[in-house]
Amino acid sequence: FCILQNVIVVLHESLPLQAMFICILSLPLFHTFISLLTLFLGDVRVRSRAGFETERRGSHPYIDFRIFHSNSEIEVSVSARNVRRLLSFQRYLRSSRFFRGITVPNSSNILDDDYNGQAKCMLEKVGNWNFDIFLFDRLTNGNSLVSLTFHLFNLHGLIEHFQLDTMKLRRFLVMVQEDYHSQNPYHNAVHAADVTQAMHCYLKEPKLSKSLTPWDVLLSLIAAATHDLDHPGVNQPFLIKTNHYLATLYKNTSVLENHHWRSAVGLLRESGLFAHMSLENRQLMESQIGDLILATDISQQNEYLSMFRSHLDRGDLCLENANHRHFILQMALKCADICNPCRTWELSKQWSEKVTEEFFHQGDIEKKYHLGVSPLCDRQTETIANIQIGFMTYLVEPLFGEWARFSNTRLSQTMLGHLGLNKASWKGVQREQSGSGDDVDPTFEEMDSDILPQEPRLS
C-alpha cells in the first residue's frame, strides 16, 4: 500500500493526469496489488467445477440476536454481513506469523525453549490415554491442535507417503485451529485436539493398526481435527427454532455436522494441501471425510450402534474390506467424540464442567429471548452430576461396551474402568446435593432422537 502510494505521488508530480493513470495501469506492482486485494477482501468461497460448493470460510453460524426483535426496531445491514465475511481475513493475519515461523520479539520468549521442551516431551507420549490436553495446550501457547496434529501426520508417515508440502500442511492446520471459536467453553480447538489424540490411540489398537492403510489414517486424523469446525456453541434445535440460515440450507438434518464437513472441505481446497492429487482422489477424500464427520451426529447414535452390534453378533466384520474399515473408523470417531467420561477423573471433570457451562449459556439465551429452554440447558433445574450420569448411562456406556466387544484390549478395559469410577464419583456428588442416591436425571431416557441435543454434548 505504502509503495503504491509513493509511486502515485511521484507520477502525479511529473505527468499529466491521463498519462499518470496509463502508467499506473501498466505497473506490475498495480496488478499485484489488485490480485492481493481480490484474494484477501473478496468472497473467499472455494468452488469446484466437479464437486459441491463448500461453506465460506469465516461464515460461521453467526447468531444475531437482533432477529428476535421486531423489524421496526432494527434492521440487519448488508455492511454488517460483509464485515463478518472478512473475519477469515483477520484470522489469516493473526495466524500468518505462526505458519511462516515468524516470532515477535518479546521479553517473555526466554521461557519459550523450556515450554517447547516440555511440549516435545509430552508428544513422545501422545499415545498415552492419560495425555493431558489442557496442559499441552498451555505449553504450546494455545496451539495444541496444530502442534499435535502436525506431529501425528509425521509420526504416521503421512507427510512422506502422500508427498505433502509441510508449509501447506501447517497452513491448513492453522486455518482449522483459527476457525474453531475460542470463546466456546467446550466446542473449541482444544476439544478437537483431544478428539484427535483419542483417535490416534484407537488407530494404534492391534485390530486396526495391522489393517489400516495410510489413506485410512489420513482420513481419520483430518476428520477428527475438523469434526466440530466452526461450531457456534449452540445445538441444532436452537438453530432450527431461530430460523438460522444453516438450518434452512441443510433442511434441519445434521445441520451442524454438515456445516463442519463443508467447512473442512473448504479449508482443504483453500490450502491446496492435496492439489497434487488427482481430482478423483480429492473428491473421494472429501466424500469419505464427510461420512466420518456426519457419523458424529448424536441423533443417529441408535442407528450406528444397532449396525455395530449386529456386525459383532454375526461376527462378519472383515477389516480387509474397505467398507468395513470405513465403518469401524466411523465408530472410532464416535467413540473419540464422546470419550471424555472415559478419561481420568481429573480430565473428565474439567470437560464435564465445560460442556455444562456451554449448555447453560444456551439456556440463558433461550430464557432471555423467550424461546423455550432446551433439555439439559436450564441451570435452575439441572446439575452437572445429573447431566453426566444420564449421559454416561444412556449414551457412553452402550457405545463403549460394544467397542470393547470389538477391540477387547487393555485400552478398552481402561476406558470402561474410568467410566465406572467417574459415574460413581458423580453419583457421590449427586447424593451430596440431593440427599438421595437414586435420583438419576430421566431426561436422557425420556427424550427421543428428535429432541436429543445434537451438538452440545461431550463430543
Just list the catalytic residues.
Answer: 187
Residue 337 labeled ligand binder: yes
User: Taking CA 230 as the corner, what is the angle to CA 330 and CA 285, rounded to the nearest 5 degrees?
Assistant: 40
Residue 311 labeled ligand binder: no
Q: Which three cell numbers stand for residue 252?
A: 434441519
Using alpha carbons, select from 222, 201, 195 the residue that is nearest to residue 284. 222
Q: 59: part of which helix (H) or strand (E)?
A: none
Residue 224 labeled ligand binder: no
Residue 231 labeled ligand binder: no
User: Integer distance in angstroms from the first to the last C-alpha of the chain?
Assistant: 45
The residue assigned the cell 464435564 is 352
User: Taking CA 267 as the corner, what is the angle to CA 265 and CA 270, rounded to the nearest 5 degrees?
Assistant: 110
The residue assigned the cell 489469516 is 92
Alpha helices in 15-86 (DSSP H): 17-26, 28-41, 78-85
Residue 114 labeled ligand binder: no
Residue 188 labeled ligand binder: yes
Alpha helices in 295-409 (DSSP H): 301-314, 322-337, 345-368, 384-391, 397-406
C-alpha span between 89 and 91 (Å, rounded): 5
Q: 297: part of which helix (H) or strand (E)?
A: none
Q: Which three cell numbers stand for residue 291?
A: 461420512
What is the length of the chain? 459
Using alpha carbons, select from 91, 170, 154 the residue that is nearest to residue 120. 154
Residue 191 labeled ligand binder: yes
Task: Write the DSSP assignment of 318-339 as a string of letters.
Answer: -TTSHHHHHHHHHHHHHHHHT-
Let me know: does 386 contact 439? Beta carbons within 8 Å. Answer: yes
Task: Write the DSSP assignment of 402-451 as a string of letters.
Answer: HHHHH--SHHHHHHHHHHHHHHHHHHHHHHHHHS-S-----HHHH--TTT
- 376-381: Cβ within 8 A, 24+ apart: 376/443, 376/453, 376/456, 377/453, 377/456
Residue 388 labeled ligand binder: yes
Mention every residue, 6+ apart, whose C-beta is less than 8 A from residue 411: 129, 201, 202, 205
Residue 227 labeled ligand binder: yes
How many other CB atoms sit within 10 Å of the CB of residue 443?
A: 19
The binding site comprises 187-191, 227-228, 337, 388
The binding site for Zn(2+) comprises 191, 227-228, 337
